[in-house]
Amino acid sequence: MAVQWYPGHMKKASDEIREALKRVDVVIEIIDARIPISSSNPMLKELKGSKPCVRVLNKKDLADPEVTARWILAMEKEVNVRAVAIEALKKKEVDKVKSIAISLAPDELKRGVRALVVGIPNVGKSTFINTLAGRKVAKTGDEPAVTKQQQHVRIEGGRKGFDISDTPGVLWPNLADRKGGIRLGATGAVRDTALDYLEVAPQAAVDLLTHYRDLVVERYKLKGESEEGMDILAEIGKKRGCLRKGGIVDLHKAAEIVCREIKAGDLGRISLDWPEDYEIESNTDSD
Ligand code: G4P
């Protein structure tokens, strides 16, 4: 993965988030419903502490609904956390997040509820804010080295109004985690130029064949006999005519096709993080 998140950027982002958190009542954390863990920021849980949080599994239209439902159950085991799956372009669904956020804020507030929208790049934060505001709110740069102007938006509604601000710095996912990096790559969360297709596609193909065997076998007309990533890729390459001189399969081309089709949702609704693969820390009442 070519994307780098330097320690300096990490420190700056965490300081900014810590400051911003002091001024808000609720955190709205946007994650990608297909990869709720891989698309989350590893520092956020610690930074937000016990501040109420709505975990928004966005892009639910692309994710496996059954897996999403299990994620919601798993996440809501955590105290002060509510989880909801949405499509950020749908006003009704975005408004539901607003209602949940307001319900989590302390009752005694004399002013409107203040919420901080956080999330890694490309999960749909701007889309969410625009839909909530009912207008296009300018988007600022997502480059780690660029100073980002934090946005504050007043939303009408709720008894005393609802104020949201977006992530002050740029929050990155855990790119040091290879499994997460591959899933971010496969879903297109990391820009194409930062991808090594040949690193991403074979593992994604194995994961998909394990969890969505019928979808993958049907789409690529596979015999379903290969279990190893490069072998699956070679079979896909042959079927799709990705051949070089001498009939050698062009694995890079095949990998590109697989990544592009996963990102476009051509295989149907799929998830690439599954709750049973992760130990979900649940700081529940019994802790
Ligand atoms: P960000 O502010 O967190 O960086 O994300 P942003 O809103 O810009 O959204 C990133 C991409 O995700 C956009 O596509 C946007 O349309 C898409 N998106 C946001 N919410 C949803 C959703 O609920 N469902 C689906 N299917 N897509 C959603 P884009 O501009 O075409 O970018 P890209 O896909 O080329 O990266």
- CA–CA separation, 264 and 124 (whole Å): 15
The pLDDT tens digits for 85-110 are 999 999 999 999 999 999 999 887 87
- Nearest Cα residue to atom 34 of ligand 1: 188
Arch. (CATH architecture) of 178-264: Orthogonal Bundle (1.10)
The pLDDT tens digits for 227-246 are 899 999 999 999 999 999 99
Q: Which residues lie closer than 8 Å to 164 by C-beta, 6 or more apart?
A: 28, 114, 115, 116, 117, 129, 132, 152, 153, 155
- Name beta bridge partners: 31: 57
In short, whether 123's Cβ falls inside 6 Å of ligand 1 is: yes
What separation in Å is there between the alpha carbon of 263 and the centre of ligand 1? 11
Q: 8-174 with 178-264: one CATH topology?
A: no
CATH 3.40.50.300 fits 8-174, yes or no: yes
Q: Which long-range contacts (CB under 8 A, 24 or more apart) does 213-217 make?
A: 215/267, 215/268, 215/270, 216/267
Delimit the domains of the chain by residue range.
8-174, 178-264
Number of the ligand 1 atom closest to the C-alpha atom of 188 = 36
> Where residue 258 falls among pLDDT bands split at 50, 70, 90?
very high
pTM of the full structure:
0.90
What single-letter DSSP state applies at residue 4?
A: -
Confidence check: pLDDT of 287 > 60 = no
